[in-house]
Amino acid sequence: MRGCQNARDVSLFAPFPFMSHPVENVVIVGTGCAGLTAAIYTGRANLNPLVIEGSLPGGQLTTTSEVENFPGYPHGIDGFQLMQNLREQATRFGARFEQAQVQSVDFNSHPRKLVCGDRVILAKSVIIATGASPRMTGVPGEKELYGGKGVTTCATCDGAFYRKMDVAVIGGGDSAAEEALFLTRFASKVYLVHRRDTLRASKIMADRATSHPKIECVWNAVPVAVEGVEQGAVSGLRIRDVNTGAERTLPLKGVFVAIGHVPNTGPFAAALDVDEGGYFKPAAGSQVKTKVPGVYVAGDCADHVYRQAITAAGMGCQAAIEAERWLAEHGG
């Protein structure tokens, strides 16, 4: 098994049928802010963590241009660079990285098993930090102009780039209402484009959004295309009225897609508790413990409320400390 040659032996877990395979102290799944922070802490605790990176190394922040709200960077930092820094810091403390996709897990076994294609990784403790992917509309232009070109999924991250500009938020839930309200601090006008004639958002958020003088609700409208692909920057949002079929273009510079997130919990969902949205449900009294001893969750895969780089990093830190304590108690 590649990448497992430095793993320690585990007296507590012997005898078990995989004794010929090395057993990792801690396997961290995911390389966003949560996963890399967990790697820094477990690495620094001499646990020699193995970090599994999937299809988007560095996570969601690598698709953002500038990050201005991560503490410690008074002038902001490029999202990709921030993740490179975290990775370098984790590597410095002995974290090892492997590219793999976890397809399924067996958390009833000791050690825990993670199945990645034809390989099985054995681990005494596991930190799952697989993040969440923003749900996208899939209309033409959205993908081409995503990340620094005018289409984004995070007003908190990118709103300040749209000072005195017109923007649109797509969606009708709490996220859309919150994003639209946040954007009123910067934008001249915020179109809130929703496919129905009432918001799904909580009443207080809906009332605030619909009564804000800078927000214009565009009801019964679905996006058809994001315009500006030729120029490499958003110039408008083409929308269609779902009742009449009539189309028109809203001239604007920014499109904020806020139609929900899809947590990346699929391969683990059968082994752990998840809520109706698919997010991990931590054990009572903890943000990061699960019902399986030695298995922890961190970051956006377990948090649909805050979803910030710094909160994910905080959860990664908590998970690492819990794993370290658990290993100390159980013979790691």
Q: Of the candidates 147, 260, 266, 293, which one interacts with ligand NAP according to CB under 6 A?
A: 260
Cβ neighbours of 284 (radius 10 Å): 7
**Strand duo 50-53 + 24-29: pairing:** parallel
CA dihedral 229, 230, 231, 234 (to 10 degrees): -20
| Choices 6-14, 99-107, 169-177, 323-331; region in contact with ligand NAP by CB under 6 A | 169-177
Among 54, 172, 236, 332, binds ligand NAP (CB under 6 A): 172
| Distance (Å, whole) CA 209 – CA 201 | 10
215 bridge partner residues: 190
- The number of beta carbons lying within 10 Å of the beta carbon of residue 99 is 12
User: Quick one: 75 or 305, whose CB is closer to ligand NAP?
Assistant: 305
Site string for ligand NAP, 92-131 (x = CB under 6 A): ----------------------------------------
319 closest CA partner among 39, 122, 103, 54: 39
CA-to-CA separations, 157 to 35, 71, 231, 305, in angstroms, rounded: 20, 13, 23, 15
**CA-to-CA separations, 1 to 18, 102, 120, 183, in angstroms, rounded:** 12, 14, 8, 49
Q: Least Å distance between CB 135 and ligand NAP?
A: 6
Site string for ligand NAP, 55-74 (x = CB under 6 A): --------------------
- Whether 301 is catalytic: no
Residue number of the CB closest to ligand NAP reads: 173
- Known catalytic residue at 4: no
Residues 290-309 that bind ligand NAP (CB under 6 A): 304
Provide the minimum distance between the beta carbon of 203 and ligand NAP in the complex, in angstroms, as a whole number. Answer: 12
Q: How far is the CB of 170 from ligand NAP (least distance, A)?
A: 6
* Catalytic residue from among 116, 157, 217, 301: 157
Which residues within the stretch 203-232 sit at the binding site for ligand NAP (CB under 6 A)?
222
Q: If you write DSSP's letter for every residue of 223-272 in order, what string do you get?
A: EEEEE-TTTTS--EEEEEETTT--EEEEE-SEEEE-S-EEES-GGGTTTS
Measured CA to CA, the distance from residue 51 to residue 25 in angstroms comes to 11
Taking the least distance from each CB to ligand NAP, the nearer of 2 and 203 is 203
Q: Which of 137, 152, 265, 308 binds ligand NAP (CB under 6 A)?
A: 137
Residue 157 is a catalytic residue: yes
CA atoms within 13 A on the CB side of 224: 14
CB of 134 to ligand NAP, least distance (A): 9
Residues that bind ligand NAP (CB under 6 A): 137, 170-176, 178, 195-196, 200, 222, 259-260, 304
